[in-house]
Structure 1
Amino acid sequence: MEELVADVRTFNRFYTRVIGVLGAGMHDTPYSLTEARVLFELRAHEEMETGELRRLLGLDAGYLSRMLARFESGGLVTRARSAADARRQVVRLSPHGLEVWRVLDAASASDVRDLLAPLAAEDRRRLKSSMAAIQRILGDDGAGREPYVIRPPRPGDLGWIVHRHGVLYADEYGWDETFEAMTARIVADYVRDHDPKREACWIAEVEGERAGSIMCVRDDDRTARLRLLLVEPSTRGMGIGGRLVEECLAFARRAGYARIVLMTVEVLASARRIYQRAGFQLDEQHDERSYGADVTVQTWSRDL
């Protein structure tokens, strides 16, 4: 615990320096970073009680009162008694205050862009994921945000699909490298013969990190094939697998297929339940030796 305490304090000191850098854009304005924070919060709310504003930003009551008096004399805010409780004061941004906020917001956004510009795309994704993790772990439950996104593949995603299939199925079922090789062939065939009107791939992403995959490929003119459904263990239970299958089915219908098939292995019980809920039915199964293990291979299908 003490080592973690020290690490958190070190991070806090580092982040305080970052905040100082991000406040540099205020240097060309008459407003301090704290004053800008007050204007930002007033912009985010139609109106705020002074007590609420003080508690939100952790400000001294006298300091905030003097600041709001300056803002009022400069025409940035208006203050009035609360209609609900005359003992309380309500603050609103004026039209001039809104214009000032726009200038400060542009300066702040420019500073953040400058901070992020030297980072590679992968580092930006890692940063986004890490910030979300810190918020979630230390108390922000992410209410109002989607728990995951489904998106088309980006450079590096197809290699990730092969890698994660190889690692996960080896860890969970003891399958050998022949399964990873088969996954690589499926991905290579998808790239070589890809018809975007009749084939597609999707990546599930949670807090900026890849969390799952699926493909819809052409089997023949009337039949699509679902391939490479995967959900990371850490994100199972979020509905990602079912959502990926829904995306695949919807695409197959739009592409004009009449039927969709898939191959799976009996031991993959969670995937089988997803397929059953999506309307797939078992057509055929047989035992064989594959991937260094004795498996029961199954074919499932459904009409579209």
Structure 2
Amino acid sequence: MPSPSGRVAKSHVKAVRAFNRFYTQRIGILKRYLDTDFTLTEVRVLYELAHRPPLPARDLVRELELDPGYLSRILRRFEQSGWLAREAAPHDGRQSLLRLTEAGYATFAPLQQKSRDETAALLASVPAAARPRLIEALQTVHRLLEPPPQAERRIVLRDPGPGDLGWVVQMHGELYAREYGFDEQFEALVAEIAAGYLRDFDPDREKGWIAEVDGERAGSVFLVRKSATVAKLRLLILRPEARGLGLGGRLTDECIAFARAKGYRRIVLWTQSILTAARRIYASRGFVLKDSEPYAAFGRELVAETWELKL
């Protein structure tokens, strides 16, 4: 299982900045909002006031990350225009809460509708068959840049289904090439393992798990029969975005529980010394390093390791 890396490639930074320039120009952020007299920040403040109960100004400062002085000027303009009113907080009369007036709602409503119309026009320029891909990509960007707290993430471990083994092969090929420099021979090995699992699968003695996070495939592991008393753990992997959620440990625990329930006496596995995150998981579950051997494979000089857990 690959370990996380904190380095950010310059090409990735360049790609994000290029997209920012394209998108801000495409939706007109650099000019007045939708050709009105409002700035984007002013409309965002109006949006928050229109969609929330009365709230103190400090909440807007914190949640929108605005300068207090800048927000005060915006609120002053809204009050002078008759769009904003202040009322005493019911729990503390010394604190004032902000709310839109009827005139404020009347001002905001056409702005919101114009924004919807502009967005609809933007989507209309994309072929209908491609729109689901666009929405999925936008949701992916949102999820990766602002993931929900771990406690709120929806994590599911399920049986493999059609297409899952192909995904497992692809993930191994891509991640190990990117993070460890493995060549295509490693992907070929994983493909052979996956094909053997599908071809010879024994549901009474073998099992695989696909981990999903928020509805997307995030990892895998498989337990296969080596002999009547020995099981083998194979193809443990996690996408980089799913690291830090404890999934590697959970997948390993599932293998151990299944092996015990089926009467196996030992679990063995084959890994590489450079896979430090996976090795930590194995060691923490009681696996013991039984053998190691330097060898050349997958375009690298490696040290292969055999680990074992007595059940």
**TM range, smaller chain:** 0.5 to 0.7
Aligned AA (1:204):
A
With structure 2 as the length reference, what TM-score do the two structures score?
0.57
Kindly indicate whether the alpha-carbon contact (under 8 Å) linking 1:128 and 1:208 is maintained by their aligned counterparts in 2: no
Does structure 1 retain, via aligned residues, the 8 Å contact 2:144–2:241? no
How many aligned positions are there? Answer: 204
Q: Which residue of 1 aligns with 2:194?
A: 187
Contact 2:150/2:245 (<8 A) preserved: no
Do the aligned partners of residues 279 and 125 (structure 1) sit closer, same or farther apart at CA in structure 2, a change above 3 Å counting? farther
Cα–Cα, structure 1 residues 270 and 195, in superposed 2: closer, same or farther, change >3 Å? Answer: same
TM-score, with length taken from structure 1:
0.58
Q: Which residue of 1 aligns with 2:289?
A: 282
Partner residue of 1:296?
Answer: 303
Distance 1:287 1:222, change over 3 A: same
Matches within 5 A, 1:25-104: 57-58=51-52
Residue 158 of structure 1: SS of its match in structure 2? helix
The C-alpha deviation readout for 1:60-114, integer Å capped at 9, x for no partner, is: 9xxxxxxxxxxxxxxxxxxxxxxx98xxxxxxxxxxxxxxxxxxxxxxxxxxxxx
Instruction: Report the AA paired with residue 240 of structure 2.
Output: P
CA–CA distance in 2 between the matches of 1:253 and 1:125?
A: 43
The residue that corresponds to 1:204 in the other structure is 211
Q: 2:249 corresponds to which letter in structure 1?
A: G
1:119-268 matches, within 5 Å, as: 131=139, 134=142, 141-142=148-149, 144-268=151-275
- Partners of 2:203 and 2:134 lie apart in 1 by 29
- Secondary structure of the 1:159 match is helix
For structure 2, the residue ranges without an aligned partner over 5 or more in a row are 1-19, 35-47, 55-89, 92-127
Instruction: State the AA in 1 paired with 2:206.
Output: E
State the secondary structure of the residue aligned to 1:154.
coil
The one-letter code of the counterpart of 1:294 is E
Bigger RCO of structures 1 and 2 (CA < 8 A, at least 6 apart): 2
| CA deviation map 1:113-141 (0-9, x unaligned) | xxxxxx99xx9899678647647857x83
Question: Unmatched 5+ residue regions in structure 1?
Answer: 14-53, 61-83, 86-118
Partner SS for 1:263: strand
**Contact 1:125-1:208 at 8 Å conserved across structures:** no
List structure 1 runs of 4+ shifted beyond 3 angstroms.
1-10, 54-60, 123-138, 140-144
Amino acid at match of 1:273: R
Identity of aligned residues (%): 43
Q: Which amino acid aligns with 1:190?
A: Y
Shift of the alpha carbon at 1:213?
0.9
